[in-house]
């Protein structure tokens, strides 16, 4: 479950790097998207993700230095 959450967070937080060409960014984005989709193919129960939303949000904020 944590791997799926990490993949989703990575996909949502991806940004184009300074000086990076758009084609390279697009390739990184598509690769990350494909990895996330591959991990979501397995059994995913949405209410488990929603139920853990507060915990996940807190961890993501700590990782980004918001809290």
Task: Name the domain count of the chain.
Answer: 1
Per the model's pLDDT, the better-predicted residue between 32 and 44 turns out to be: 32
For every residue of 1-67, DSSP letters joined together read: -HHHHHHHHHHHH--PPTT--HHHHHHHHHHHHHHHHHHHTS---HHHHHHTHHHHHHHHHHHHT--
**pLDDT attached to residue 24:** 94
Percent over 90 (pLDDT), the chain: 21
pLDDT bin (cut points 50, 70, 90) of residue 34 is confident
pTM of this structure = 0.55
Average pLDDT over residues 6-13: 84
Range of the domain at 57: 2-64
**pLDDT attached to residue 45:** 52
**pLDDT attached to residue 36:** 82
């Amino acid at each position: 479950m944590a791997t799926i959450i990490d993949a989703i967070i990575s996909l949502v937080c991806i940004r184009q790097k300074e000086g990076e060409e758009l084609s390279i960014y697009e390739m990184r984005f598509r690769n990350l998207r494909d990895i996330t989709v591959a991990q979501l193919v397995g059994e995913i129960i949405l209410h488990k993700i929603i139920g853990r939303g507060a915990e996940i949000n807190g961890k993501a904020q700590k990782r980004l230095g918001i809290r």
